[in-house]
Structure 1
Amino acid sequence: MHFNEPKDQFLDVIYWGRQLLAILMGLIWGYLGLTGILGLSSFVISNSIAVYIYSINFNVENDDVMQDVKEGFMTSFASFLVSWILIYSALYF
């Protein structure tokens, strides 16, 4: 058994949960027609807050919450942008 297995599993949950949340948020943001800095900043803030709340409530080791918040952020940001742009373009152009 790997020594750090529970932490790795926790980070996997954060990573994949963040991906799903980002795609869902991209679909919603695109449908609502949000654009520009409002759309980008609201995604960053709400996605980070959601992961932070999840981390402080379910992290069994409470060692570094900010590391949890950074886990998988850039890939979730890319997923958000793709889904946001596709839905917005399909509905408004």
Structure 2
Amino acid sequence: MSLKESKSVKFNHQPQHQNGHLSPSKFAKLFDPEASWDKDELGDILHWIRQLLGLVCGLIWGSIPLVGGIWFTIFLVMSSGIIYGYYAVIIKVDEEEFGGHGALLQEGIFASITLFLLSWTLVYSLAHF
């Protein structure tokens, strides 16, 4: 059995709660540089981090109120920086195993842009008109 297969098998035997919530070991995995990741699992995590960032930034941008293309650019740069920092610095995955930086940085970007623009526009429109 190769190292990659043994890590995959190790993950499949972790305890899960019956109600579908993350067990403490799964939550700890989010910040464990020694944990093993498969492509779908890491993609899902990066996708949902981006969605959370899109929603939070959209709510903040709309409530302050911030307007203009510069704030959209700042969101994109900030979001990509946080995603890069997460996979390269915090969990330290080898990006080449997951298709390179481009593939990892694209994960969830279009959905997060949509959520960001929607929440930004709605909050701004409701709060300031």
Common fold, TM-score beyond 0.5? Answer: yes
TM-score of the superposition, structure 1-length normalised? 0.88
Find the aligned partners of 2:104 and 2:93 in 1 and give their Cα distance: 12
Identity %: 34
Structure 1 residue 62 and structure 2 residue 91: aligned? Answer: no
Alignment of 1:1-93 (within 5 A): 6-57=38-89, 58-63=91-96, 64-93=100-129
Find the aligned partners of 2:94 and 2:84 in 1 and give their Cα distance: 14
TM-score of the superposition, structure 2-length normalised? 0.65
Q: Is the 8 A contact 2:55 2:119 kept in 1?
A: yes
The one-letter amino acid of 2:83's match is V
Runs (5+) with no aligned partner, structure 1: none
Secondary structure at 1:79's aligned position in 2? helix
Runs (5+) with no aligned partner, structure 2: 9-36
Normalized per residue, the structure richer in helix is 1
Aligned residues: 91
In our comparison, the structure showing a higher alpha carbon Rg is: 2
Give RMSD over aligned pairs: 1.7
